[in-house]
Amino acid sequence: MKTGINWQSRINPVVREIPSSGIRRFFDLAAEMKGVISLGVGEPDFVTPWHIREACMYSLEKGYTMYTSNQGLLELREEIARDLAESYGVIYDPRSEILITVGVSEGLDLALRTVVCPGDEVLIPDPSYVSYAPCASLAGARPVYLPTSVENGFQVTAEMVEKAVTPKTKALVMCYPNNPTGATIDRQLLMEIAEVVKYHDLIVISDEIYDKLTYVGEHTCMSSLPGMRDRTILLNGFSKAYAMTGWRVGYAAGNGDFIAAMKKIHQYTMLCAPITAQVAAVEALKNGKPGMKKMVEHYNRRRRLVLQAFQEIGLPCFEPRGAFYAFPDIRVTGLSSEEFARQLLQEEKVAVVPGSAFGVQGEGYVRCSYAASVEELSEAFKRMNSFVGRRVNR
Ligand code: PLP
């Protein structure tokens, strides 16, 4: 009789083979050390504004501790519909075209699982946020990468999409402003991509979590382009713009049939986003815009400081126009991005994320989040300067 179980053999090979998140790996390493300045995690350093926390506390006082409907609080869906109409002129029916999710993370997973059949292909920009490819694989799809580079401003182009499309392609994932590069995308490019998407009858999963964190030019919402509203699953949330990462609330907006299908999965898996977070999100949308704009001004100031610092250190850095990441080119040091991040952490106690965590095209770069205080950033750059100085003749 067998006594032990070989658990490795019981794990679905797809799960076994997806990599652990490169962000979390460095986050965990840094957490074990004392005196580390973390530019590693993409998380606002602000706590959620007080009036939002207070709205949540009052809701608890009133006894709001139950499930909400699977689709989420109607009041929140109505506020989201108002916000999307005001910001982008796109009209959604809050009763059938908006689903409240447990962050953009759940929205992404649901959208992929809803659209993908085993063996389908999903187009994913490289570099891009660490979850896209693993979530596509877990849904049964094959991720197909669209290689962007600093030469084209880390922007996806219509030609890239056209070249990558096959009869198996089902969806294109887009994310601008972009994590990890901070790139935004020109409206003209987005319109050209939309034409290719329509021609090949694809859908777009558009992660717009950094839309409000746009410092140069104006953000174009994919759904607002002609003919794209019904082809786009718009994902957004409250984590970044309203400093609400821990609340776990976001939403998907799109075609009613598709949203209903996503809701079918959601009703058996998550049931609903936490009611406390949904109440807080209503308050964020109703009264949180002035506070949000102030946080964005802070990020923008830090963005300029960071660009200046990299120039002084001697690491070429692409100008980020959105999100809160800088993506300096570290190749002059002769180190791989993994070695750079590891040695910087060990020698100077500064945590950054190797660009390779975001795709092959991220090699040669590291991601530095500037959602940290000016004091922390100044100290981190002092340390980085010594680190680079020991490796480069300046
Ligand atoms: N999408 C992008 C591009 C992100 O950078 C992140 C978090 O870093 C997420 C989604 C996850 O968002 P949420 O907290 O809403 O699940």
Nearest atom within ligand 1 for CA of residue 323: 5
- At 251, the amino acid letter reads Y
CB 239 less than 6 A from any atom of ligand 1: yes
- Per the document, the length of the chain is 394
Residue 327, domain extent: 7-48+290-389
The predicted pLDDT at position 158 comes to 98
Burial of 351 from C-beta contacts in 10 A (0-12 / 13-18 / 19+): buried
Whether residues 335 and 203 fall in one domain: no
Token couple for 390 = 């020991």
Write the pLDDT tens digit of every residue in 247-274: 999 999 999 999 999 999 999 999 999 9
Nearest atom within ligand 1 for CA of residue 104: 15
Structural domains of the chain, count: 2
Token couple for 82 = 């108002």
ω into residue 177 within 30 of 0, thus cis?
A: yes
Query: What SS3 state is found at 63?
Result: coil
C-beta separation of 235 from 175 below 8 A: no
Whether residues 123 and 219 fall in one domain: yes
Query: What SS3 state is found at 372?
Result: coil
> How far, in Å, are 7, 9, 10, 15, 384 from residue 4 at the CA level?
9, 12, 12, 22, 49
54 in a structural domain:
no
349 in a structural domain:
yes
307 in a structural domain:
yes
Whether residues 127 and 24 fall in one domain: no
2 in a structural domain:
no
DSSP string computed for 141-166:
-EEEEEE--GGGTT---HHHHHHH--
How far is the centre of ligand 1, averaged over its atoms, from the C-alpha of 52 (Å)?
A: 20
- At 135, the amino acid letter reads C
> How far, in Å, are 135, 220, 224, 233, 321 from residue 187 at the CA level?
27, 6, 11, 18, 14
Whether residues 126 and 260 fall in one domain: yes
Question: Which of 249, 269, 286 represents a domain boundary (last residue)?
Answer: 286
359 in a structural domain:
yes
What's 95's domain CATH number? 3.40.640.10
- At 153, the amino acid letter reads G
How far is the centre of ligand 1, averaged over its atoms, from the C-alpha of 250 (Å)?
A: 10
Whether residues 119 and 264 fall in one domain: yes
Whether residues 30 and 160 fall in one domain: no
Measured in degrees and rounded to the nearest 5, phi and psi for residue 11 equal: -90, 130
Question: Which of 286, 303, 319 represents a domain boundary (last residue)?
Answer: 286
39 in a structural domain:
yes
**Distance, CA of 163 to CA of 245 (rounded, Å):** 36
ipTM of the complex: 0.99
Contact residues for 56 (Cβ-Cβ < 8 A; gap 6+): 276, 277, 279, 280, 283
How far is the centre of ligand 1, averaged over its atoms, from the C-alpha of 105 (Å)?
A: 6
The predicted pLDDT at position 289 comes to 97
Residue with the nearest Cα to atom 7 of ligand 1? 42
Q: Using CA atoms in the order 188, 192, 197, 203, what is the torsion angle rounded to 10 degrees?
A: 0
Q: Which of 179, 214, 52, 170 is nearest to 104 (CA)?
A: 179
How far is the centre of ligand 1, averaged over its atoms, from the C-alpha of 144 (Å)?
A: 20
Whether residues 248 and 280 fall in one domain: yes
Whether residues 261 and 296 fall in one domain: no
Whether residues 299 and 275 fall in one domain: no
> From the DSSP assignment, how many helices (H) and strands (E) are in the chain?
14, 12
C-beta separation of 50 from 378 below 8 A: no
What's 351's domain CATH number? 3.90.1150.10
55 in a structural domain:
no
How far is the centre of ligand 1, averaged over its atoms, from the C-alpha of 180 (Å)?
A: 11
| pLDDT, block means (10 residues), the chain with 394 residues | 84 90 75 90 92 97 97 98 98 98 98 97 98 97 98 97 98 98 97 98 98 98 97 98 98 98 98 98 98 97 96 96 98 96 96 96 97 94 97 84
Whether residues 228 and 354 fall in one domain: no
The predicted pLDDT at position 1 comes to 66
60 in a structural domain:
no
How many Cβ atoms sit within 10 Å of the Cβ of residue 348?
20
Question: Which of 256, 286, 316 represents a domain boundary (last residue)?
Answer: 286
Whether residues 246 and 104 fall in one domain: yes
Whether residues 167 and 274 fall in one domain: yes
